């Protein structure tokens, strides 16, 4: 009788391999974190968007910035573009779902702000449109992607592409990076430094 695959160990091994690969991405991860820190230090805001699990990650990160991560401090401005159902449904109804984030970036994004676009494939049309609008508005841009990075990676000032084709592993790495940025940003801003 053939032994069933051990899902636990297969998943854990994939996760560990994915996180080992992050060591090669220290440069882009640190560079993107510095964009966030410098923007907040300059009184600018962070906008974040994604679909599905990436929408949850966008909300999670905004909560860490506005609330706190591990240190007591003042609130800093961050907004997940995934949370206002009236805006999302109105824009989707009037313009199409591809515009739900770009329209918000057009209205809310100002030069010097930062847009973080999260897409495991790097090819989500609504995230790419948001990135294009951010560039038009003069925002700094960060892409969190997976696989080969898709069209999104080439548009960002800083792009982090997780070298995996498995959506769950990519998302696990994304939340690690978002937590790292929250931690490094708190440490840097509370110390009065310009970068994490």
pLDDT digits (tens, 9 = 90+) for 22-40: 999 999 999 999 999 999 9
pLDDT at 193: 54
pLDDT at 1: 60
For residues 192 and 171, which has the higher predicted lDDT (pLDDT)? 171
Lowest mean pLDDT across 13-17, 95-99, 132-136, 190-194: 190-194
pLDDT digits (tens, 9 = 90+) for 35-81: 999 999 999 999 999 999 999 999 999 999 999 999 999 999 999 99
State the pairing for strand pair 46-50/114-118: parallel
For the chain, give the mean pLDDT.
95
Largest CA distance in the chain: 64
> How far is the C-alpha of 114 from the C-alpha of 81, rounded, in Å?
13
- Superfamily per CATH, domain 7-191: Glucose-6-phosphate isomerase like protein; domain 1 (3.40.50.10490)
pLDDT band at 132 (very low <50, low <70, confident <90, very high): very high
pTM comes to 0.95
Residue 130 CA, distance from chain mean position = 13
Q: Is pLDDT of 127 > 80?
A: yes
- The residues pairing with 118 across neighbouring beta strands, listed in sequence order, are 50, 144
pLDDT at 195: 40
Which tokens go with 190? 């509370």
Of the chain, the end-to-end C-alpha distance in Å amounts to 54
| Contact indicator for 114, 135 with CB cutoff of 8 Å | no
Which tokens go with 141? 């841009």
> How far is the C-alpha of 35 from the C-alpha of 158, rounded, in Å?
8
- Sorted by where each begins, the domain ranges of the chain are 7-191
pLDDT at 2: 67
pLDDT at 51: 98
β-sheet with 78-80: strand ranges across: 78-80, 46-50, 114-118, 140-146, 158-162
Alpha-helix residue ranges (DSSP H) falling in the chain: 7-21, 26-41, 53-66, 85-94, 102-108, 125-137, 150-153, 167-191
pLDDT (average), residues 161-172: 97
């Amino acid at each position: 009788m053939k032994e069933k695959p051990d899902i636990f160990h297969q998943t854990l091994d994939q996760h560990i391999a994915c996180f080992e690969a992050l060591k090669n991405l220290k440069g882009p991860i640190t560079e993107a974190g510095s964009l966030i820190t410098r923007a907040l230090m300059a009184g600018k805001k962070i906008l974040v968007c994604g679909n599905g699990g990436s929408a949850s990650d966008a909300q999670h990160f905004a909560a860490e910035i506005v609330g706190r991560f591990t240190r007591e401090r003042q609130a800093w401005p961050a907004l997940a573009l995934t949370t206002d159902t009236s805006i999302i449904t109105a824009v989707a109804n009037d313009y199409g779902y591809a515009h739900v984030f770009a329209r918000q970036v057009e209205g809310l994004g100002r030069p010097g702000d930062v847009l973080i676009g999260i897409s495991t494939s790097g090819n989500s049309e609504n995230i790419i449109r948001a990135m294009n609008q951010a560039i038009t508005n003069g925002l700094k841009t960060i892409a969190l992607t997976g696989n080969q990075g898709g069209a999104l990676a080439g548009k960002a000032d800083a792009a982090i592409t997780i070298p995996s084709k498995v959506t769950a592993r990519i998302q696990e790495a994304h939340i690690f990076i978002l937590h790292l940025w929250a931690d490094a940003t708190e440490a840097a801003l509370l110390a009065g430094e310009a970068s994490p």
